[in-house]
Amino acid sequence: MEFGLSKNHQRNEKVEKRIQTALDWLDARSTDELLAEPLGPKEIAEGVELRFQEYDTRDYAGMDYETHRKHIDIHYMIKGAEWVRWADDGDAAATDEYDPEEEIQHFGHPAFHSKALLTDRHYAIFDPTDLHAAHGMVNGKIGHNHKLCVKIAID
């Protein structure tokens, strides 16, 4: 998992170019421009898909964790706040089978997790081995968020 501001991004992996393409695209737009984008998917380059979302945050107790096998997720908060949690996939039980069409598998809560507060214009990067759960309420209150989930292909 990686957490930070896009201007601080320094990661050297085979998908660096795709990650940087996404972060550069986001940095070139104002918050108002990002909020004006229609909800849903938008491909900006080969292997880089943006998924614009709008939703209310949820209580951690009712959340599942997820993983992916063929892409990295970048959770990029346009406007709002939420807790994102992550853990290694070692001790959490799968709650369903891997779905290759949706490219996702869900898990129960791990014995231990870390968390970060995702706020305006911050991101978190989750590798395929990272269990992650997003949309977490802040201070026990439901909030409304505008966020992107960027899908970075790793093949």
pLDDT in 10s for each residue of the chain, 155 residues: 665 555 544 545 667 899 999 999 999 999 999 999 999 999 999 999 999 999 999 999 999 999 999 999 999 999 999 999 998 767 899 999 999 999 999 999 999 999 999 999 999 999 888 899 999 999 999 999 999 999 999 88
Quote the pTM value: 0.90
For residue 98, the enclosing domain spans 2-153
* Pairing status of strand 130-136 against strand 105-107: unpaired
Find the CATH number of the domain harbouring 24.
Answer: 2.60.120.370
What is the structure's pLDDT at 2? 60
Place of tokens 């911050």: 122
What is the structure's pLDDT at 9? 47
> Which residues share a beta bridge with 19?
none
Report the number of distinct structural domains present in the chain: 1
**Per-residue three-class SS string for 3-69:** EEEHHHCCCCCCCHHHHHHHHHHHHCCCHHHHHHCCCEEEEEECCEEEEEEEEECECHHHCCEEECC
Residue type, 23: L
> Is 55 within 8 Å of 87 (Cβ atoms)?
no
